[in-house]
Amino acid sequence: MRVVMLCKACIVGMYQRKLEEIAAHEDIDLIVLVPPYWRDKRGIQKLERAHTQGYTLKVIPTRFIGSYHLHHYPTLREELNTLQPDLVHVDEEPYNLATWLAVRYAVAMHIPSLFFTWQNLMRTYPPPFSLFEHYVYKHVGFAIAGNQEALKVLRRKGFRGPARVLPQFGVDPDLFHPRPGERPPDEPFTIGYAGGLVPEKGVDLLLRAAARLSGKWQLHIVGDGREKTRLQKLAHKLGIADRIQWTPRVPSTEMPHIYWQFDVLVLPSRTRPNWKEQFGRVLIEAMACAVPVIGSTCGEIPHVIGDAGLIFPEDDIERLAEHLRALQENPTLRVELGQKGRERVLQHYTHQRIAQETVRIYHHLVEDIGAIPTWRV
């Protein structure tokens, strides 16, 4: 089976491990088409070629890079005509121009297709995006939802086809593994955060909660964003600036070394009218490294963590401080949660596991459904 996947996210090196795992299936011939780079509010992410064995990773021309809704690939029709795939996997939201064009081309070629969605908020879009969405719903053979609420949104918006919840990417447990050796006993309790420095990520809550701790501790914040200056000013106001290490965004391949410096990773996200945490990838990366995690009740976070970490209500600074204090004072609890976290990742969130489930969907779509979905009206 020849599969063409369209995926801007696969410019990230760590995500490419899933592609290798898909390609490891002998009956899958995988070609992945990507832009040369992507730009968002965190900055520019250039293409990383970290894991490229067994499949073809091809850069194609891309228009409107940085626009989630309007970016598209002007040579895609020619690519599909040349490659003649059995299946088109569009790793994009159904209301995007890139998805609509890809599905149109697939329909014209009588090729089954599927899309992926993270969207966990019930939103309506103006034309032409609402028209894109309706067309995609009507003509694809399968939908993959990255979280529980995204699947509910699909159904509420009228998608009638088969769908299931499956994260877009997992982690490589051989790369994201527990720190070799013990942390030196004289190192301070280190609280970690990795991600965007934007209001919805709640880093200000983490600063305020950490300021309530006593004893020997430090905070390591990894990432970039427009809130950095404001957060640094808040740290000075709270009197904890000298306890904070600020590290710019690092390549995905270096993240295990970052997690090994943490005694706990915190994801204190907060819901906004136009945003809710869709997954929280740093959680499964830290858990794979046997680092205990604390997360808020925002979006998918509690589902990702399960019983392998600590949860606090959104915006509840005192409860977050209590969780931090509990882990600071109880090394045994840190070890216990770290082990449970890694076990949960091995069971649910490895690239191999997600690739296996993705290939099952491919076979179901090509062999059982075919190019013309039965629910089309």
**Region 299-313: what's the mean pLDDT?**
97
Same domain for 230 and 102: no
Question: 3-class secondary structure for 325-369?
Answer: HHHHHCHHHHHHHHHHHHHHHHHHCEHHHHHHHHHHHHHHHHHHH
- Whether this prediction's pTM lies above 0.85 is answered by yes
Q: What is the CATH number of the domain that holds 294?
A: 3.40.50.2000
Same domain for 292 and 143: no
Q: Is residue 56 part of a domain?
A: yes
Q: How confident is the model at residue 183 (pLDDT cuts 50, 70, 90)?
A: confident
Same domain for 99 and 18: yes
Same domain for 163 and 196: no
Alpha carbon distance 13, 193 (integer Å):
21
Residue 334 in this model has a pLDDT that exceeds 90: yes
Summarised one tens digit per residue, pLDDT across range 251-265 is 888 999 999 999 999
Summarised one tens digit per residue, pLDDT across range 117-165 is 999 999 999 999 999 999 999 999 999 999 999 999 999 999 999 999 9
**Region 163-174: what's the mean pLDDT?**
94
Question: Which residues pair with residue 310 across a beta bridge?
Answer: 294
Domain around 354 = 2-170+350-369
pLDDT at 190: 98
Same domain for 145 and 12: yes
Alpha carbon distance 308, 282 (integer Å):
14
Summarised one tens digit per residue, pLDDT across range 23-63 is 999 999 999 999 999 998 667 889 999 899 999 999 999 99
Alpha carbon distance 88, 372 (integer Å):
13
Same domain for 128 and 53: yes
% of the chain exceeding 70 in pLDDT: 97
Same domain for 223 and 83: no
Q: Is residue 154 part of a domain?
A: yes
Alpha carbon distance 80, 113 (integer Å):
12
- Indicate the number of domains in the chain: 2
Question: Do the Cβ atoms of 28 and 3 come closer than 8 Å?
Answer: yes
Q: How confident is the model at residue 369 (pLDDT cuts 50, 70, 90)?
A: low
Question: Do the Cβ atoms of 309 and 293 come closer than 8 Å?
Answer: yes
**Region 315-341: what's the mean pLDDT?**
98
pLDDT at 377: 41
Alpha carbon distance 116, 145 (integer Å):
6
**Region 273-281: what's the mean pLDDT?**
95
Same domain for 20 and 116: yes
Q: Is residue 146 part of a domain?
A: yes
**Region 101-114: what's the mean pLDDT?**
97
Summarised one tens digit per residue, pLDDT across range 68-96 is 999 999 999 999 999 999 999 999 999 99
**Region 199-221: what's the mean pLDDT?**
98
Same domain for 159 and 269: no
Residue 374 in this model has a pLDDT that exceeds 70: no
Q: How confident is the model at residue 373 (pLDDT cuts 50, 70, 90)?
A: low
Q: Is residue 181 part of a domain?
A: no
Residue 289 in this model has a pLDDT that exceeds 90: yes
